[in-house]
Chain A
């Protein structure tokens, strides 16, 4: 199964941890799409830079739209109002980071 990676900017008052990000994403996706939907998209926080508040989130290519919808519906992380905004998407982590650096 091929995967797709999303570069996500976290907007919140306080920097969340990688575990809190993962928890927020999984609970929102499970609530909106159910466990079957969650298993189809199989989302995972691959990397998280706490300094720049940027995360790389991977998921199955076939369920990319569902993953984006789940990210759009995240409204809080660890009880704090927050958002996860997708900046770019790519097929590999390397090209995602490269694209982002080029545009910076």
Chain B
């Protein structure tokens, strides 16, 4: 049985009722893993409380940070501070310089573009350099997805990602319960955007799960570097 994951949930910490409702719905929809994105300055006890709201419904919770830097220097500074504190790091690329650094940096897991900005999109040269996955938020942008220019832009991005061999991760990006979507519904939208049914399903299951597994290994105390792990300490 496939393990479905939603790598982007952004409940408001000011609305605990919504957070609980999202947790319950996520479990009801069949997700087993969810990444919760909270602002970087959120207190640790608030973070734990939000996590507990999901865990009581049997969801494996992952911490995520969303970075939206204005320059490459700002991005590099934020990455230095955040990488070891969060299991998933996503970067919104608002300009080419940020996109270029985010695409090549191994500390970044996901890159995404604002669908409302037609000029900022995944282009072929960037996709060929990219070592991360492209994220498309289906639930949050469902209204915009019905508009032809946004749809055309996302179809182009998916097409470029596929030809460059880039992984695509489909998420809901839900801030409120009405922005949530089920895994197979998200995958169905992926098919409409030009992904094959198999790639679409991988975008809500194996692709996000692989990212989380690799990052958890990197963050574990036994990790030394890529491919090197501490098995036991010398006595």
Q: Report if A and B associate in a common complex.
A: yes
Indicate if A11 sits at the interface (CB-CB under 8 A).
Answer: yes
A17 to B207: give the CA distance in the assembly, Å. 39
Indicate if A75 sits at the interface (CB-CB under 8 A).
Answer: yes
Interface size on B, residues (CB 8 A): 25
Question: Given A11-B180, A75-B142, A75-B143, A87 and B28 touching (CB < 8 A)?
Answer: yes
**Which residues in A have their C-beta under 8 angstroms from that of B177?**
11, 83
**Which residues in A have their C-beta under 8 angstroms from that of B198?**
none
**Complex: chain A residue closest to B138, CB-CB:** A72
Interface flags for B131-158 (1: CB within 8 Å of A; 0: not) read 0000000110011011000000000000
A75 to B146: give the CA distance in the assembly, Å. 10
The residue among A9, A83, A86 with the most chain B CB atoms within 10 A of its own CB is: A83
Interface flags for B160-199 (1: CB within 8 Å of A; 0: not) read 0000000000000000111111101111110110000100
**Which residues in A have their C-beta under 8 angstroms from that of B191?**
65, 69
The residue among A9, A73, A87 with the most chain B CB atoms within 10 A of its own CB is: A73
Whether A69 lies near B25 (C-beta < 8 A) is no
**Complex: chain B residue closest to A77, CB-CB:** B178
Whether B197 lies near A65 (C-beta < 8 A) is yes
Interface of B, secondary structure class, is helix
- Neighbour of B184 across the interface among A75, A81, A86, CB < 8 A: A86
A79 to B198: give the CA distance in the assembly, Å. 35
Q: Bin the interface of chain A by size.
A: 20 to 34
- Closest approach, in angstroms, between the C-beta of A11 and any C-beta of chain B? 5
Could you tell me which residues of chain A, from 56 to 95, have a CB within 8 Å of some CB in chain B? Answer: 65-69, 71-75, 81-83, 85-87
Question: Given A32-B146, A73-B142, A85 and B189 touching (CB < 8 A)?
Answer: no
Indicate if B97 sits at the interface (CB-CB under 8 A).
Answer: no
Interface flags for B192-228 (1: CB within 8 Å of A; 0: not) read 1000010000000000000000000000000000000
Indicate if B49 sits at the interface (CB-CB under 8 A).
Answer: no
Interface flags for A11-30 (1: CB within 8 Å of B; 0: not) read 11000000000000000100
Whether B192 lies near A69 (C-beta < 8 A) is yes
A81 to B178: give the CA distance in the assembly, Å. 7
Whether B178 lies near A73 (C-beta < 8 A) is no
- Neighbour of B178 across the interface among A67, A69, A82, A86, CB < 8 A: A82
Whether B182 lies near A85 (C-beta < 8 A) is yes
**Which residues in A have their C-beta under 8 angstroms from that of B185?**
68-69, 71-72, 85-86
**Which residues in A have their C-beta under 8 angstroms from that of B176?**
81
A68 to B192: give the CA distance in the assembly, Å. 10
Whether A73 lies near B29 (C-beta < 8 A) is no
**Which residues in B have their C-beta under 8 angstroms from that of A82?**
178
Whether B189 lies near A69 (C-beta < 8 A) is yes
**Which residues in A have their C-beta under 8 angstroms from that of B188?**
65-69, 72
List 19 A–B pairs whose Cβ atoms lie within 8 Å, in order of A's numbering: A9-B28, A11-B178, A11-B180, A28-B146, A65-B188, A65-B191, A65-B197, A68-B185, A71-B185, A72-B185, A75-B143, A75-B178, A81-B176, A83-B177, A83-B179, A85-B25, A85-B28, A85-B185, A87-B29
> Which positions in A face B, CB cutoff 8 Å?
9, 11-12, 28, 31-32, 65-69, 71-75, 81-83, 85-87
